[in-house]
Amino acid sequence: MEILKISNLVFVILTIFLAYNLYSQEQLYKKQIENLHKEYQEQLSKKDEIISKNEGYIDEIQYSNKILTDKLDSLQKAFEQYKQNLSLNLTKCEAELNTYKTELNNSKRIISELKAELEKWNITKWFKDNKISYNIYNHYLTDCITIGELNIPCLAYNVRSRNNYDRRIEEMYSLKRFVEQGAGTCREFSLFIAYILKNLKEMNFDIKLKAMEKSSDQRFYIKGNLYIENFQGINLAHISNYYYGVICYNQKDSGHCGVLISVDKISNESKFGIVLDPFTGAYLGSLNRNIRLCSSTCGYMEAPVIIDIEEEKFYIWSNGSWQIYS
């Protein structure tokens, strides 16, 4: 009996031990399963995060690709426009070059004709016929000299209002004929004003000169209550500081003459000076040695001719230098 009891007890103990081992193994497996499940969930979460990031990268790449595609299309259109503009510019340049060649040939023709005319023309007699006395032009100075100043726009206004402009005149009138006819071109009007200024200088008039130039918001008084809008005065130096002449030239499709007021004696080395319109006394620009007439911009003067009334000479620009006739 005792042995049986002991055997049963051993059996119970072994059973309890085995049961405990099985329980422990079960708990261990559960723990491992839980860890594996947790690890699986973490990996799954990382996978979703990676997928989400990759989807973001894909969206960014697609957006960048769209921007690059748009830029490429824009550059392609700009390049096509550039090619079109280049073609148009080349056509325009060719047309301008042909126009320049035509104008150059015309200038050469004008200079050649003028040279031929001067060679057979009595220049000395022409200058002699330009001598005018004070009593011929003094009435043109009415209302134009005030407080030691000569208003050139006033003088130009008086001359223009009492003489006729006739562009049909082709021959060069002397001032004697201009006064007799009471008509002339811009050349004769310029010559008349230049001689008046020269004579007043030689008579030692103590006066300064005033001209006018364009202005956006001012008013210039020509004489008395007579004024012109959008012009302002230009104060020049004393009349004795200048040398006077006439310059005629072509620009684009038209020709014109102006009163040349030079800062030094007119010669082929002159610094020259300013040019005034003979009909208004307005500033046309500054004449420089490069045969450019410059105001707000510079324009090339074709076939320029200068009449130096001080030294009684003609200067004709030909082949890059001044040809002198006297």
| Contact in structure between 219 and 188 (CB atoms under 8 Å) | no
Distance CA 240, CA 237 (A): 8
Which residues does residue 255 pair with via DSSP β-bridges, in sequence order? Answer: 250
CA distance linking residue 38 with residue 136, whole number of Å: 121
What residue type is 174 in one-letter code?
Answer: S
Alpha-carbon 33 to chain mean position: 86
Q: What tokens does 176 get?
A: 């004697």
> Quick one: 211 exposed, middle or buried, by C-beta within 10 A (0-12, 13-18, 19+)?
buried
Percent of the chain with pLDDT over 90: 23
What's the pLDDT tens digit per position in 150-188?
Answer: 999 999 999 999 998 877 776 777 888 888 888 888 889
226: confidence class by pLDDT, cuts 50, 70, 90? very high
In the chain, DSSP finds a helix count (H) and a strand count (E) of 6, 15
Exposure of 46 in the CB half-sphere (CA atoms within 13 A): 6
On whether the pTM is more than 0.75, the answer is: no
Per-residue pLDDT at 5? 62
